[in-house]
Amino acid sequence: QVQLVQSGAEVKKPGSSVKVSCKASGGTFSSYAISWVRQAPGQGLEWMGGIIPIFGTANYAQKFQGRVTITADESTSTAYMELSSLRSEDTAVYYCARDRLDIVVVPSYDPPDAFDIWGQGTMVTVSS
Partner 1 sequence: QSALTQPASVSGSPGQSITISCTGTSSDVGGYNYVSWYQQHPGKAPKLMIYEVSNRPSGVSNRFSGSKSGNTASLTISGLQAEDEADYYCSSYTSSSTMFGGGTKLTVL
10 Å Cβ neighbour count for 98? 26
- Identity of the residue, 15 or 81, whose beta carbon is nearer to partner 1 in the bound complex: 81
Q: Is 102 in the site for partner 1 (CB under 8 A)?
A: no
- Identity of the residue, 24 or 37, whose beta carbon is nearer to partner 1 in the bound complex: 37
Selected binder of partner 1 within 72, 83, 115, 124 (CB under 8 A): 115
Selected binder of partner 1 within 3, 59, 91, 125 (CB under 8 A): 59
CB of 75 to partner 1, least distance (A): 26
Instruction: Point out which residues bind partner 1 (CB under 8 A).
Output: 35, 37, 44-47, 49, 59, 61-63, 95, 97, 100, 110-116, 118-121
